[in-house]
A = this chain, B = another copy of it.
C-alpha cells in the first residue's frame, strides 16, 4: 500500500488532485470498535496507555477511510503535570478539583516538562508513525491557551465563563501570567509531539466563541499567536519542509478577521460561516479546513451530497482545502454515513479539481 500524502500536500497548500478529508473526534464513540475498548477502560487510562491510544487512533483510518490520523488524546492531559487535579467523572466530562481562582493559584501553576508530564503521548506518536508508514499522515494537537485557561479556572466545562472572564478583566497581570504559562506549556508539548513524529499539529480553541472580539484581540490572540509562531519555528528548524499548523477557533466565525491574525497554515472554520464567505474573508495565504455541519451525517444521502458539493464548489480549485466537519462527529452518527461522506468528498473534489 502506498502512503497517502493527500492531506499533507493540502496542509502545505500544494496542488492536489482531490480534497483530503478527516473528521474531528473521528476516533470516538460513534464507532462500535471504539466503544468495545472504551467499555473496558477509563477515558484518561486510554489516553495514558500508548497501546490503547494507538489502537483507537488507527480505527477510523482502517475502517472509515479518512486521509489523516489524529492522535487519540485529550486537550487536558497536561493538567496534572501543571498541578491541576484532573478527573473525568463518569458521564460528566472533565472536572478540575482545584480550579484556579486567585493570583496565588496562578503563581503556583507549573509549566511541565512534556516528557515527564505526558511522555505516553510521545510514545504513542512514535508507535503510530510506524503503524501509519504505508497509510496516512499523523496529526498531533493541543488546546489553545484560552480554552485551557477557561477549563482550569471554571473547573469544568461551562457556557458561562464568569470566573474566567472576571479574572481576565479584573486581574490583567495574573491573566497575562496564566496565559503565558499555558502558552509555554503548549509550545513545549507540541514541539515534543513534532520531535516524536507528528506531521501536522492542530491548535483547538474550542471555547473561544464565547469571548467578545475586543477581548479576543486583547487577551487571547497574542498568546495563541505566540504558540503558533513558536511551534511553526520549531517545525521549520527540525523537520524538512516544516510542520503545518491548523488553527481551529470554534464558534468564532464572526471574528474570523482576528482569528487569522494568529497565523499558522490552515484556518479551521465551523459550519456557521458559509464557505463562499470564508474564502472571501480569509487571506488567501491560508488554507481552510472545514466545514460541513456535523449533523449532516443524519441527512439522507442526496441532501448530504448536495451539501458536500456546495462546500467543495465554494472553495474552488485552488490549493489548501482540507475537508472536515465544522465540529466533532456526534456520538450517535452512523459509521456507514461517515464512509459515504468520505466517498462523496473524494469523488466530487476529483471531478471539480479536474475541471470535468
Contact = CB atoms under 8 A, between A and B. Distances in A.
A332 B214 CA distance: 24
Interface stretch (A71-79, A230-238, A294-302): A294-302
B165 A293 contact: yes
A170 interface: yes
A254 interface: yes
Given A209-B272, A212-B271, A295-B162, A169 B300 contact: yes
Contacts of A213: 272-274, 277
A164 to B, nearest CB: 8
Given A169-B299, A255-B274, A293 B162 contact: no
Interface in A172-229: 209, 212-215
A293 to B, nearest CB: 5
A50 B255 CA distance: 43
A103 interface: no
A interface bracket (residues with beta carbon within 8 Å of B): 35 or more
Given A160-B295, A166-B299, A303-B169, A214 B330 contact: no
B253 A212 contact: no
B274 A166 contact: no
A50 B24 CA distance: 49
A289 to B, nearest CB: 16
A254 B254 CA distance: 5
A350 interface: no
For A169, A300, A303, A310, which residue has the most chain B Cβ atoms within 10 angstroms?
Answer: A169
Given A162-B330, A166-B299, A170-B300, 10 more contacts: A160-B330, A162-B298, A165-B299, A169-B296, A212-B272, A212-B307, A212-B326, A213-B272, A215-B293, A253-B254
7 smallest CB-CB distances across A and B, nearest first, come from A253-B254, A169-B299, A169-B303, A213-B274, A254-B254, A166-B298, A165-B295
Interface of A: 160-162, 165-166, 169-170, 209, 212-215, 251-256, 271-274, 277, 293, 295-296, 298-300, 303, 307, 310, 326, 330, 332
18 contacts: A160-B295, A160-B330, A162-B332, A165-B299, A166-B298, A166-B299, A169-B296, A169-B299, A170-B299, A212-B271, A212-B274, A212-B293, A212-B326, A213-B272, A252-B272, A254-B272, A254-B273, A255-B272
